[in-house]
Amino acid sequence: MSKKNKIIVVGAGLCGSLLAVRLAQRGFEVCLYEKLPDMRKTDLGAGRSINLALSNRGLMALDRVGLKEDILDQCIPMLGRIIHPIKGDTFLSRYSGREEDYINSVSRPGLNIELLNLAEANDNISVRFNCKCLGVELETATATFQDKSTGETFSEKGDIVIGTDGAGSAVRRSLMAKTAELLFDFSQSFLRTGYKELSILPDDNDNWRIHKEALHIWPRGHHMVIALPNLDGSFTLTMFHPYEGEAGFNTLNTKAKVTAFFEKYYPDLIPHCPHFADEYFENPTGILGTIKCYPWQAYGKVLIMGDAAHAIVPFYGQGMNAAFEDVRVLDDVMNEHGDDWEKVFTNFQDLRAENANAIADLAIDNFYEMQDRVDDEDFIKKRKIEMKLEIEYPDYFSKYSLVTFRPDLDYKKAMKLGREQDALLLKICTQPEFANITLEEIHQKMIALKQSMLAGAYP
Amino acid sequence: MSKKNKIIVVGAGLCGSLLAVRLAQRGFEVCLYEKLPDMRKTDLGAGRSINLALSNRGLMALDRVGLKEDILDQCIPMLGRIIHPIKGDTFLSRYSGREEDYINSVSRPGLNIELLNLAEANDNISVRFNCKCLGVELETATATFQDKSTGETFSEKGDIVIGTDGAGSAVRRSLMAKTAELLFDFSQSFLRTGYKELSILPDDNDNWRIHKEALHIWPRGHHMVIALPNLDGSFTLTMFHPYEGEAGFNTLNTKAKVTAFFEKYYPDLIPHCPHFADEYFENPTGILGTIKCYPWQAYGKVLIMGDAAHAIVPFYGQGMNAAFEDVRVLDDVMNEHGDDWEKVFTNFQDLRAENANAIADLAIDNFYEMQDRVDDEDFIKKRKIEMKLEIEYPDYFSKYSLVTFRPDLDYKKAMKLGREQDALLLKICTQPEFANITLEEIHQKMIALKQSMLAGAYP
């Protein structure tokens, strides 16, 4: 490295904190700025994504900074989805046929605090909270902030600026302000469905009221509720409902209507969260959007990563994992190009942008699958075959497993192979000519598919 | 009408001036604001889309305000494309087999001035130039402007505000600032090709140096030049070149390089524009972008139209025509819903948005066709069959004709049918089984296709 570069990281959320730690471990001087107050000293308020699903891509990145085992100790494994149909018994649909493949429910603030603690313990990092980024002068890597506690505005010049400031990124806005120069492609699109968080409290013995080691789903066609377990015995529920229509957040605008709706559609939930109608009106309704853009860098001086570059809907449980994977891939690229930032940034964006687009599209697909198809007969049949394949043949990975448990394979390859596998399985499940096909015959077809699609890229 | 509503129109370009005139003719009070100085008194500078192709959709809208014949008198008909291959003779490819189907080269400022004159002659319209829109308060239909001649900032409240302020629309920015409330979907994407205007001056007798009644194309694979005739005997040339690579605007950065490039790729142009290398460096390089968004309206108070709602690349010659058609369709919707603006706006956007997306996509397709395929053998063969069909069978319209000469058919229907026709013709041109097919047999297939796709929607 030519000299000890100074790097300004804008945003100390999950991605920014991890990035700051890794860059500091590499010997850079890191100035980490965060708009919000220090979450270790202030309650930032409930009602917004309290827990998240951490899986292999995220864990691989946490391993880079030496935090994987610590974090796993604070997670609850979720071995599969427990489906709560409107009629009939609940049933478990495992995420994989392999024992070792599961996802992990983790507290968002808990994880963020671990990362902030690690950052502050590193002499190469200075962290400053309450500083809102107002914009970045791209050519000179100069970021301007307003200190919200004093009102004072100040600028800081780095060798580079990296924006990890989330879906509403101020750094991205500075790229967009140079649309003509950068030919800055940008899109934002929103589901006509929003979300609202509720909760299931622990029982009298501080235990989990429903099965602990699973992600629960109440699929209802055009709306659903999901639940993820927390360490304290509670669950965080998330309602995903359209804005309009019978199930619409705008329609369910009185306690009586909300209660009647739950009695009709989520009756088995009510005993577990008697306070649902209060929480419904206390907690905000969030929007669900996808953001794509390109380029992610300007002049070898400024880069955006994580949600700032590629915000996605939460239905594949990959938002945080994709952001953490950004940090891991940037780290890989720096192994090759050191602090030649122009090369690092352009290589990084060209490696990551099409993968970010892939997971964005997969997450939209899963929105429809989760709310509408997980209790569908053909879908259940297909999942059963996939499960048998995964149990019998360790080399077979379903689309879900490719995306979730195979960080060695990028999102785009996982998507392409996974979609072809799904199409083949759907044919097998629905066409009479395959009525007597054996598992081994299916496996052979899958091997052929894999070889034709990925050739050497896939072991 | 309940009362004489006051309508603020932001932007007095082609779309805004036509809209203001039509609204005033309907009896509304119209306040028309324009950022730039009055083009009738100030030279706004050359180098940017001096002439445009006006065709049936635009003419149908001009007819609404009684201006069609006046404008046609100022147009030069373009009966087809004259292709200038790099080797071999030029040849004409007509736009249609019907005599009456052609497009028209019109001066952008000439047309705009006609519309402004008509606007100012109407007592219901007040026009104010030099006023830059800073934003709109959506709920109250209040627009804020800065008068650039005095620096003064002022607000004007209307019953409604309509933004016709182009691709960089300030009104659209105000919708985007309410992203969460409106679930405002937005995308901007740019070709990695830009444009630059040059010119062919008249000859010594003020006549046209190359064939007058045509759109000329010099297709060269990854770059091209086109020329449209002007009334004064000149042509406006437009180079469409990538930014990078051998033909790149960034690569051609000295007069020597530009000259060598023209000598290699556009040798037959040089005698007609000996000054090309000077103009190349005098004139700006423009970007080519597509903008899509939804919704186009907020609260029945604010609407965007034209490029503000749907900017497209120029390769189908439909940007202005689509904007004018917006005005015609809005006029149709008002025939039904009067000044019930909530209904007018939501009906209008739902009628227009998918058509705007269709012409945006068609324009991108034509970019590749014009620069790369117009001198391709299969393409020429296909065009010849289409031409024969159009000459023999008045009920057959090629994709180009459907889009350009059939304003009774919306863009989306034209696109869908046109693409199917193209796929069929391509099969006929390339597959040996069709070697002996007769024109009447092709015509029968086209009739069947049309009936299966459009049923009653298409005469």
pLDDT, one tens digit per residue, over B202-257 is 999 999 999 999 999 999 999 999 999 999 999 999 999 999 999 999 999 999 99
Note whether B188 contacts A186, CB cutoff 8 Å: yes
**Nearest residue of chain A to residue B168 (CA atoms):** A179
Distance of residue B422 Cα from the nearest chain A Cα, in angstroms: 29
Report whether pLDDT(A222) > 50: yes
Tokens (6 digits) for A455: 């050739």
Burial class (CB in 10 A: 0-12, 13-18, 19+), A458: middle
Mean pLDDT of chain B: 94
Note whether B186 contacts A183, CB cutoff 8 Å: no
Nearest to B188 among A179, A192, A243 (CB): A179
Say how far apart CA B415 and CA B316 lie, in whole Å: 12
Q: How confident is the model at residue B375 (pLDDT cuts 50, 70, 90)?
A: confident
Mean pLDDT of A89-118: 94
Report whether pLDDT(B457) > 80: no
**Nearest residue of chain B to residue A177 (CA atoms):** B168
pTM of the model: 0.92
Residue identified by tokens 């693409």 is B419
Q: How confident is the model at residue A378 (pLDDT cuts 50, 70, 90)?
A: confident
In this prediction, what percent of chain A has a pLDDT beyond 70? 97
* pLDDT (0 to 100) of residue A435: 87
Contacts of B295 (CB under 8 A, 6+ apart): B175, B182, B183, B184, B349
List strands edge to edge, sheet with B160-163.
B125-128, B29-33, B6-10, B160-163, B302-304, B297-298
All residues of chain A having their beta carbon less than 8 Å from the beta carbon of residue B179 are 188, 190, 287
Q: How confident is the model at residue A173 (pLDDT cuts 50, 70, 90)?
A: very high
* pLDDT (0 to 100) of residue B46: 52
Q: Do the strands B29-33 and B125-128 form a parallel or antiparallel pair, or are they unpaired?
A: parallel
Burial class (CB in 10 A: 0-12, 13-18, 19+), B98: middle
Mean pLDDT of B67-84: 96
Q: Do the strands B215-219 and B224-229 form a parallel or antiparallel pair, or are they unpaired?
A: antiparallel
How high is the ipTM of this complex? 0.90
Say how far apart CA A75 and CA A91 lie, in whole Å: 23
Residue B131's identity, in one-letter code, is C
With beta carbons less than 8 A apart as the criterion, state whether B56 and B150 touch. Answer: no
Q: Name the 3-class secondary structure at B201.
A: coil
Report whether pLDDT(A217) > 80: yes
* pLDDT (0 to 100) of residue A49: 61
Q: Report the b/e string of A170-204 with b at 16+ CB within 10 A.
A: bbbbbbeeebeebbbbbbbbbbebbbbbbbbeeee
Q: How confident is the model at residue A457 (pLDDT cuts 50, 70, 90)?
A: low
**Nearest residue of chain A to residue B181 (CA atoms):** A287
Distance of residue B1 Cα from the nearest chain A Cα, in angstroms: 31
Lowest mean pLDDT among A87-96, A121-130, A179-188, B312-321: A87-96
* pLDDT (0 to 100) of residue A42: 83
Q: Name the 3-class secondary structure at A381.
A: helix
- Which of B182, B188, B244, B292 should one mutate to test binding to chain A, selecting the residue with the greatest count of A CBs within 10 A? B188
Residue identified by tokens 């400053």 is A128
Residue A424's identity, in one-letter code, is L
In this prediction, what percent of chain B has a pLDDT beyond 90? 87
Residue identified by tokens 């004489």 is B4
All residues of chain A having their beta carbon less than 8 Å from the beta carbon of residue B180 are 287
B101-133 confidence digits (pLDDT tens): 999 999 999 999 999 999 999 999 999 999 999
Say how far apart CA B59 and CA B69 lie, in whole Å: 9
Q: Which residues pair with A144 in a beta bridge?
A: A135, A155
Report whether pLDDT(A455) > 90: no
B21-75 confidence digits (pLDDT tens): 999 999 999 999 999 999 999 876 654 568 999 999 999 999 999 999 999 999 9
Cα atoms found within 13 Å of the Cα of residue A231, Cβ hemisphere only = 13
* pLDDT (0 to 100) of residue B3: 61
In this prediction, what percent of chain B has a pLDDT beyond 70? 97
Residue A168's identity, in one-letter code, is G
Distance of residue A297 Cα from the nearest chain B Cα, in angstroms: 16
- Which of B190, B191, B244, B292 should one mutate to test binding to chain A, selecting the residue with the greatest count of A CBs within 10 A? B190
* pLDDT (0 to 100) of residue A305: 98
Mean pLDDT of A319-346: 98
* pLDDT (0 to 100) of residue A57: 98
Q: How far is CA B356 from CA A402, B35, B72, B293, in A?
A: 38, 25, 25, 10
Report whether pLDDT(B456) > 70: no
- Which of B172, B187, B313 should one mutate to test binding to chain A, selecting the residue with the greatest count of A CBs within 10 A? B187
**Nearest residue of chain B to residue A185 (CA atoms):** B189
Q: Which residues pair with A70 in a beta bridge?
A: none
For the ranges A165-174, A423-432, B83-92, the one whose mean pLDDT is highest: A165-174
Say how far apart CA B232 and CA B123 lie, in whole Å: 34
H runs (alpha helix) in A26-81: 56-64, 68-72
* pLDDT (0 to 100) of residue A255: 97
**Nearest residue of chain B to residue A181 (CA atoms):** B287
All residues of chain A having their beta carbon less than 8 Å from the beta carbon of residue B186 are 186-189
Residue identified by tokens 């997971």 is A359
* pLDDT (0 to 100) of residue A1: 46
Distance of residue A183 Cα from the nearest chain B Cα, in angstroms: 6
Three-state DSSP string of B214-239: CEEEEECCCCEEEEEECCCCCEEEEE
* pLDDT (0 to 100) of residue B419: 95
Report whether pLDDT(B135) > 70: yes
- The length of chain B is 459
**Where is A292: in which H helix or E strand?**
strand A286-294
A54-77 confidence digits (pLDDT tens): 999 999 999 999 999 999 999 999
* pLDDT (0 to 100) of residue A454: 76
CA dihedral of residues B166, B170, B173, B175 (deg, nearest 10): -90
Say how far apart CA B266 and CA B234 lie, in whole Å: 18
Say how far apart CA A228 and CA A235 lie, in whole Å: 5
Distance of residue B287 Cα from the nearest chain A Cα, in angstroms: 7
Note whether A187 contacts B186, CB cutoff 8 Å: yes
Cis amide leading into A284 (omega within 30)? no
* pLDDT (0 to 100) of residue B1: 46
